[in-house]
Homo-oligomer: A and B are copies of this chain.
Amino acid sequence: MKQSLTLIPTLREMPSDIEVKSHKMLLRAGFLRQSTSGVYSYLPLAKRVLNKLEKMISEEMEKLGAIEITLPSLQPKDILQHSFRFNEKDEEVLHLKDRNERQLILAPSHEEVMTQLMRDEIKSYKKLPITFYQIQSKFRDESRPRFGLLRSKEFLMKAAYSYHATEESLETTYLQMSEVYSNILSRLGLYYEVVDADTRSIGGLKAQEFIIASENGETTIAYSDESNYASNIEVAPVVSTYPSSEKPMNPLEKVETPQVKTIEEVCSFFTKEQTDCMKSIVFNVDGEFVVVLVRGDHQINPIKLRNVLKAHSLSLATEEEIQQLLGCTLGSIGPIKLPVNVKVVADLAIQSIRNGIAGANEDGYHYINVNPERDFAINSYEDIRYIQEGDPSPDGNGTIRLKKGIEVGHIRMSGTELTEKFNANFIDENGQSKPMYMGSFGLGISRLLAVMAEMYQDDHGFVWPKQFSPYDVHLIPVNINDEVQFDLASQLYHILTSYHFDVLFDDRDERAGVKFIDSDLIGLPVRVTIGKRASEGIVEVKIRRTGEIFEWAKEELIDRLNEYFRSH
């Protein structure tokens, strides 16, 4: 491709409001432009990378026996009635109406419409198992779409859905898909981790996520410093034990604490540790209020909380609700003397607090010498806090550390809950009607582009891996007005192309400096520069990744490039 005929709008300066390294370079090197908030146009270079990603992913899917299908983006709103992941009020879902006032949504996922299709078209165990995949745009209304492709409203995904007669069959496909995802990420040269993930939102049996460590990630991984344990902190269980105290219980006392609200203020007021404090939060759980207690140094994990309470909906109570319920503000809530109909759920760590501090449900006051069971009733103790650094690893080996990561893939054994909701049944070998088992698998293709853009760059621009670079070779005549240089460049362009190299030919009438800066930004694996030694038939070859520079005769170019591209 002649560079004059394509669009690569590289930037010398970067808009200062871009926070993410990958996004910054995609803009700077002319791969991407924002079209509207959270929505992007893929310019020609990005499109070439995406095409290579899609082709490779399709190959891997076909190897697994998955069948390609295309499901539509427009879906009737009522399909969400049966969804686990989304409901009709979900702010992530984009709604619209057609001219006949029919309520539609833009598919945030296709597992519902796929399951509907299965219900209608597959009746017999003879047609199971079956696995479908599609590569398509999905739409989610991100609340703060500011991380470029990592949080866009319209994004490209490979989704796969599998249906089975038995759980064993589902598990087989689940494990195969896990292997395929590992292959794909390895082929991309990405270092990933497979972590346990929440299954509740898909009503499922088992779920894992493929995470690429990155400070820009929205996912926090808890991992062991000694074993290979790793989990999304959303689900990592806490296995800490809390020995009960031998200290005697002192009498409960109510103390005036003007202006004392946060845990830090409480500790400093009483010169106590955070571990002596109880944090009390009111949740609205399926319409009923529940006071949730965790130790002052712990954080409530709403996903664990929802799972242990088997709640359909769970949200923080509003300030008004708290005022009405307890007659105090957010910072003064406590577990003592609650209205009779309010349950108390406490984290396991609360058990071992002796003579602790808690809010008094009265602004400006706290209780001290609070002892659970003695001073207030607890409906149940549960593991409801986030695991944190320093906690023992749940697998018994080592200590937990945290890091940020980007979720690029997920694999889920959804079981029968979705198929039951859709009545997606089949007749088994004994003539019995049963719900199918379902697996659900996703791989974020535009996210992979972002992850690669983050990983494959240096101070000067991108450093694309050979297999997924927009082009193989950047061919640059230093001065296109020098006839010898330009003729040799044109000649090499034709030869390289005929040997099936993808060549970007910089035929622009620009200064050499501009071309080299652009070339480093774009980051193709090999740069071939035709300069002063063109008359001798000598070209300069620079390997972008290593910075190595060679001078090769034009006659040896093809062989040497073939050698380079075949090697690892």
Tell me the A residues contacting B by CB distance below 8 Å. Answer: 1, 4-7, 9, 33, 35-37, 39-44, 46-48, 50-51, 65, 67-76, 91, 94-96, 98-100, 102, 104, 106, 113, 116-117, 120-122, 126-127, 130, 132, 137, 139, 141, 143, 153-154, 508-509
Interface centre among A6, A65, A143 (most CB of B within 10 A): A6
Q: Are A141's CB and B509's CB within 8 A?
A: no
- Known interface pairs A4-B126, A67-B6; A99-B95 also in contact (CB < 8 Å): no
Q: Which residue of B lies closest to A65 (CB)?
A: B5
CB of B44 within 8 A of CB of A68, answer: yes
Residues of chain B within 8 A (CB-CB) of A35 are: 71-72, 74-75, 113, 116-117
- Asked if residues B154 and A73 are in contact (CB atoms below 8 Å), the reply is yes
Is the pair A96, B106 in contact by a Cβ cutoff of 8 Å? yes
Q: Within the assembled complex, what's the spacing in Å between the Cα atoms of A413 and B99?
A: 31
Q: How far is the CB of A68 from chain B (nearest CB, A)?
A: 5
Partner of A76 from B5, B36, B508 at Cβ < 8 Å: B36
Query: Which residue of the partner chain B has the closest CB to A2?
Result: B65
Contact call B141/A99, Cβ cutoff below 8 A: yes
* B36, B42, B95: the one within 8 Å of A96 (CB): B95
- Across-interface contacts of A48 in B (CB, < 8 A): 68
Closest to A42 in B: B70
Asked if B69 and A44 make an inter-chain contact with CB atoms under 8 angstroms apart, the answer reads yes
Distance A6 CA – B94 CA, assembled complex (angstroms): 32
In the assembled complex, which residues on chain B have CB atoms less than 8 Å from the CB atom of A137? 73, 137
Chain B proximity of A99: nearest CB distance (Å):
5
Question: How distant is the Cα of A7 from the Cα of B161 in the complex, in angstroms?
Answer: 13
Asked whether, in the complex, the Cβ of B67 is within 8 Å of the Cβ of A7, the reply is yes
When A68-B47, A70-B47 are in contact, do A96 and B98 touch as well, CB less than 8 Å? no
Shortest distance from the beta carbon of A444 to any chain B beta carbon, whole Å: 15
A102 touching B143, Cβ below 8 Å: no
Residues of chain B within 8 A of A130, CB atoms compared: 5-7
CB neighbours of A36 from chain B (8 A):
72, 74-76, 102, 104
- Inter-chain contacts of A141 with B (CB < 8 A): 98-99
Return chain B residues, CB-CB under 8 Å to A116: 35
Distance between A113 CB and nearest chain B CB, rounded to angstroms? 6
| Distance from A202 Cβ to chain B, minimum over Cβ atoms (Å) | 21
- In the complex, what residues of B have CB within 8 A of residue A9's CB? 121
In the complex, chain B residues whose CB is within 8 Å of the CB of A113: 35, 41
When C-beta atoms are compared, the residue in chain B nearest to A118 turns out to be: B7
> Is A102 a contact of B37 with CB atoms below 8 Å?
yes
Do A72 and B40 form a contact, CB below 8 Å, given A33-B117, A95-B96, A98-B141? yes
